């Protein structure tokens, strides 16, 4: 029996999810051949130079890069497990649909509070809770924000020291640094009609960006139909022009068709490093400050965490910095439970105020989405899988994930009515500002983001909506629309003083009328593309929402009842001036704290018109460079560092005195590709054995688990 996880969330009822059970993959052979990351430990030292909170996408980048300086000791604390017992399901790209990790302990499984703009629904918010974080459980789409929106972020902080590091040029270089690009295989190129420009991609980084080894005719027809419906094609969305219709890269290692994520890219291939320790099952509860340090410049001296659900509180000392990488939900939550945040939130929760910082958890922006579905008689990935044929064990087939997208700007959506809408958006600010926050700084920040979105993004080339086509459902094809630059901003707060309690998540979906209009025009365009040749002949009839939904009012009612997250929340520790509710400055330092930074998807103050992995890898790379440069102020001496200088992590008895700092550069990438050199030489690459028993159960996700 097939269960359709995402359809449940999007269409029928969330309750179905509870029925989905873990699959029966059985991979002892795979297990035996798999490398075990050497820096994952059980015992840690008393203190470290750097303590990184969260071993997710960004956290493992920071851990790998900061420990390249053998004279710095580095610890990563991850609340989730190491994920080894789920490794097959993480590794197989298609299992994001067929054997999703959502119903397992690898998902925090948050819910929003009832959304007044969405028929009072509490929306499910999955997040990865495992080494690799959300990059271990997500839908593998890899694309980048555009130059225009990156520079709009930089403009918001241009008065701050360090702002130069957040221009498109430096961010583009940082994104490339994390990437190894491989073009699609022959056959897939033609069938999916893929174009690319290798010069816009990186070639030596730890994360693979490539394409599935298997595809479907409708993928190739997507861009042509989109073009016929008024959305232009793009040849190269990766060099700063992320708009138009195209087939995106996926985070897939094409040498063995496995998921490429922060653990496989930035942790597993590392040689043992005596100065680096990664501790899983370690939930950080609070940052501990030196009470003698001056107010306004508090020094973190340690981090409190628990490995047993709060029964025992452990601490580890911090000699240089705490770096928060808990993600858009986790990082503000740790600050709030540490007493750093808005006064009213902390007092109501009963958490003693350590330093007032009104912006913590504010400015939350998410991509909210809806989807149209057609039946089809043609084979879909979902139907081939459900038929129990040879595909279900074929690694090439199982590398298929949805990847065709389109980013659509205001002039395509609204034509010559775009400027009227802009005028009305600008006139509506005051109405929304009053409910945004009681803090004038946070409101000023909201205004700054709002003005940027209305004046700069709205009228520019950047997509306001993303469209995505997916076929992982048995007998159906879906086209979704997701709002990329929302005017509705929400918040992450807490309502308890117990740091293990979940935070209160309120994205305020569709509370701003412009968001309703933009998403509505987006989903209407999705339907039009489905009704346009050559795609329309692949589809039979629209079964959701169906022909009953035609007028704007009907679309709006239906949308409010059917929204779900595209999984891209951001901006809860926004980089903004302090008097605009900023949480970090342009050097990623938390205001008022001497030695705490944030470096994850919570930092960019505006949403991006893209899925958030590639930009978060770039942000974490850039953060690592800045932090290393700050602590290595003397002229960098390129040397083979000696392990004698790094004794602090030596309680990790498994670690030996190997270093991976390359001879030619002090910022060499952790090696992950089959062509890598120095550190890879210490690895024993084994071919992957595909002994996979695919679950009887099919948990499929919508247009994706995006």
Ligand X SMILES: Cc1cc2nc3c(=O)[nH]c(=O)nc-3n(C[C@H](O)[C@H](O)[C@H](O)COP(=O)(O)OP(=O)(O)OC[C@H]3O[C@@H](n4cnc5c(N)ncnc54)[C@H](O)[C@@H]3O)c2cc1C
Ligand Y SMILES: *[C@@H]1O[C@H](CO)[C@@H](O)[C@H](O)[C@H]1NC(C)=O
The residues assigned a catalytic role are: 568, 611
Pick the stretch among 383-391, 432-440, 519-527, 575-583 that binds ligand Y (CB under 6 A).
383-391
- In whole angstroms, the minimum distance from the beta carbon of 188 to ligand Y comes to 19
53 binds, among ligand X, ligand Y, none (CB under 5 to 8 A by kind): ligand X
Q: Would the annotation count 284 as a binding residue? A: yes
Distance CA 1, CA 522 (A): 33
First-to-last alpha carbon distance for the chain, in angstroms, is: 24
- Are 702 and 9 spatial neighbours (Cβ–Cβ below 8 Å)? yes
Pick the stretch among 193-201, 296-304, 488-496, 611-619 that binds ligand X (CB under 6 A).
611-619
Distance CA 126, CA 111 (A): 8
- Are 66 and 296 spatial neighbours (Cβ–Cβ below 8 Å)? no
Handedness of CA 660, 664, 670, 674 (dihedral sign): negative
- In whole angstroms, the minimum distance from the beta carbon of 112 to ligand Y comes to 8
Distance CA 148, CA 654 (A): 47
Task: Rule CB under 6 A: say whether 207 interacts with ligand X.
Answer: no
The string of DSSP codes covering 326-386 is: SHHHHHHHHHHHTTEE-HHHHHHHTPPPSEE-TTTT-SBB--EEEEEEEE-SS--HHHHHH
Site string for ligand Y, 51-70 (x = CB under 6 A): ------------------x-
Pick the stretch among 31-39, 76-84, 511-519, 637-645 that binds ligand X (CB under 6 A).
76-84
CA distances from 375 to 49, 396, 406, 538, 669 (A): 57, 25, 22, 9, 46
Which residue, among 585, 600, 648, 595, has the nearest Cα to 62 in the 3D structure? 600
- In whole angstroms, the minimum distance from the beta carbon of 616 to ligand Y comes to 16
Distance CA 532, CA 227 (A): 10
Handedness of CA 668, 669, 671, 674 (dihedral sign): negative
Three-state DSSP at 543 gives strand
Site string for ligand X, 116-155 (x = CB under 6 A): ----------xxxx---xxx-xxxxx--------------
Q: Would the annotation count 473 as a binding residue? A: no
Say how many residues touch ligand Y, by CB under 6 A: 56
612 binds, among ligand X, ligand Y, none (CB under 5 to 8 A by kind): ligand X
Q: Scanning the structure block, which residue is given the tokens 């702002």? A: 163
326 binds, among ligand Y, ligand X, none (CB under 5 to 8 A by kind): ligand X
CA distances from 523 to 168, 472, 481, 508, 550 (A): 30, 19, 5, 20, 11
301 to 340, contacts with ligand X by CB under 6 A? 325-327, 330, 334
Q: How many residues does the chain have?
A: 706
631 to 690, contacts with ligand Y by CB under 6 A? 632, 634, 636-637, 639, 641-642, 645, 666, 674, 685, 688
- In whole angstroms, the minimum distance from the beta carbon of 314 to ligand Y comes to 17
Backbone region of residue 363 per phi and psi (left: phi > 0; alpha: psi in -120 to 50; beta: other values): left
Nearer to ligand Y, 110 or 443 (CB): 110
Three-state DSSP at 164 gives helix
Three-state DSSP at 253 gives strand
Pick the stretch among 94-102, 213-221, 426-434, 624-632 that binds ligand Y (CB under 6 A).
624-632
Site string for ligand X, 544-583 (x = CB under 6 A): -----------------------xx---------------
Nearer to ligand X, 9 or 443 (CB): 9
* Binding annotation: 130, 284
Question: What are the residues binding ligand X (CB under 6 A)?
Answer: 53-59, 77-80, 126-129, 133-135, 137-141, 283-284, 325-327, 330, 334, 567-568, 600-601, 611-613, 616, 705-706
* Binding annotation for FAD: 130, 284
Question: What are the residues binding ligand Y (CB under 6 A)?
Answer: 1, 34-35, 69, 71, 91, 113, 116, 119-120, 164-165, 170, 232, 253, 255-256, 258, 290, 292-293, 297, 299, 301, 386-388, 409, 411-412, 459-461, 495, 502, 504, 557-558, 561, 594, 622, 625-626, 632, 634, 636-637, 639, 641-642, 645, 666, 674, 685, 688, 696
């Amino acid at each position: 029996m097939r269960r359709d996880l995402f359809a449940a969330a999007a269409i029928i009822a969330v309750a179905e999810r509870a029925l989905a059970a873990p699959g029966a993959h059985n991979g002892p052979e795979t297990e035996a051949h798999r490398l075990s990351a050497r820096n994952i430990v059980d015992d840690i030292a008393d203190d470290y130079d750097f303590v990184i909170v969260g071993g997710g996408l960004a956290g493992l980048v920071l851990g790998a890069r900061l420990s390249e300086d053998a004279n710095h000791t580095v610890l990563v604390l991850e609340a989730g497990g190491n994920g080894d017992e789920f490794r097959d399901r993480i590794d197989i790209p298609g299992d994001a649909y067929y054997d999703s990790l959502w119903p397992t302990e690898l998902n925090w499984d948050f819910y929003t509070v009832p959304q007044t703009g969405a028929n009072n629904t509490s929306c499910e918010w999955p997040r990865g809770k495992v080494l690799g974080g959300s990059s271990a459980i997500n839908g593998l789409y890899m694309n980048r924000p555009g130059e225009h929106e990156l520079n709009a972020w930089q403009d918001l902080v241009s008065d701050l020291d360090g702002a130069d590091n957040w221009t498109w040029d430096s961010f583009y270089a940082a994104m490339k640094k994390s990437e190894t690009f491989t073009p699609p295989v022959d056959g897939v190129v033609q069938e999916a009609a893929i174009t690319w420009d290798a010069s816009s991609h990186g070639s030596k980084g730890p994360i693979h960006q490539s394409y599935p080894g298997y595809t479907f005719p409708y993928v190739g027809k997507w861009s042509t139909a989109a073009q016929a419906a008024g959305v232009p094609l793009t040849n190269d969305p990766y060099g700063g022009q992320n708009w138009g219709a195209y087939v995106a890269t996926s985070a897939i290692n094409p040498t063995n068709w496995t998921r490429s994520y922060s653990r496989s890219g930035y942790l597993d291939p590392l040689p043992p490093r005596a100065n680096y320790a990664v501790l899983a099952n370690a939930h950080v509860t609070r940052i501990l400050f030196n009470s003698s340090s001056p107010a306004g410049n508090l020094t973190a001296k340690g981090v409190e965490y628990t490995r047993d659900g709060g029964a025992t509180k452990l601490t580890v000392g911090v000699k240089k910095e705490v770096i928060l990488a808990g993600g858009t939900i986790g990082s503000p939550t740790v600050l709030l439970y540490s007493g750093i945040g808005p006064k009213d939130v902390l007092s109501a929760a009963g958490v003693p105020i350590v330093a007032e910082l009104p912006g913590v958890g504010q400015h939350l922006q998410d991509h909210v989405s809806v989807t149209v579905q057609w039946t089809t008689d043609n084979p879909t990935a979902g139907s081939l899988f459900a038929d129990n044929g040879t595909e279900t064990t074929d690694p090439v087939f199982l590398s298929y994930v949805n990847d065709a997208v389109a980013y659509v700007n205001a002039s395509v959506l609204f034509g010559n009515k775009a400027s009227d809408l802009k005028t009305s958006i600008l006139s509506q600010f005051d109405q929304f500002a009053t409910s945004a926050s009681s803090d004038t700084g946070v409101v000023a920040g909201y205004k700054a983001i709002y003005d940027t979105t209305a004046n700069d993004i709205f009228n520019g080339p950047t997509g306001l909506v993303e469209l995505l086509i997916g076929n992982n459902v048995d007998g159906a094809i879906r086209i979704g629309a997701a709002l990329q630059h929302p005017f509705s901003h929400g918040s992450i707060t807490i309502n308890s003083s117990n740091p293990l309690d979940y935070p209160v998540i309120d994205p305020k979906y569709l509370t701003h009328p412009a968001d309703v209009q933009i998403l509505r025009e987006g989903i209407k365009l999705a339907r039009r593309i489905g009704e346009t040749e050559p795609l329309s002949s692949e589809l039979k009839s629209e079964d959701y929402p169906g022909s009953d939904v035609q007028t704007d009012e009907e679309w709006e009612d239906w949308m409010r009842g059917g929204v779900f997250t595209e999984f891209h929340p951001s901006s809860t520790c926004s980089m903004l001036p302090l008097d605009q509710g900023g949480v970090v400055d342009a050097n990623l330092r938390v205001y008022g704290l001497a030695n705490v930074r944030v470096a994850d998807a919570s930092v960019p103050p505006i949403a991006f018109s893209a899925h958030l992995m590639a930009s978060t890898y770039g942000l974490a790379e850039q953060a690592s460079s800045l932090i290393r440069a700050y602590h290595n102020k003397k002229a960098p001496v390129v040397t083979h560092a000696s392990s004698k200088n790094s004794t602090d992590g030596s309680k990790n008895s498994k670690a030996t005195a190997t270093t991976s700092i390359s001879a030619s550069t002090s910022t060499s990438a952790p090696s992950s590709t089959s062509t890598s050199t120095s550190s890879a030489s210490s690895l024993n690459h084994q071919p992957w054995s595909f002994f996979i028993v695919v679950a009887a159960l099919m948990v499929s996700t919508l247009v994706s688990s995006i």
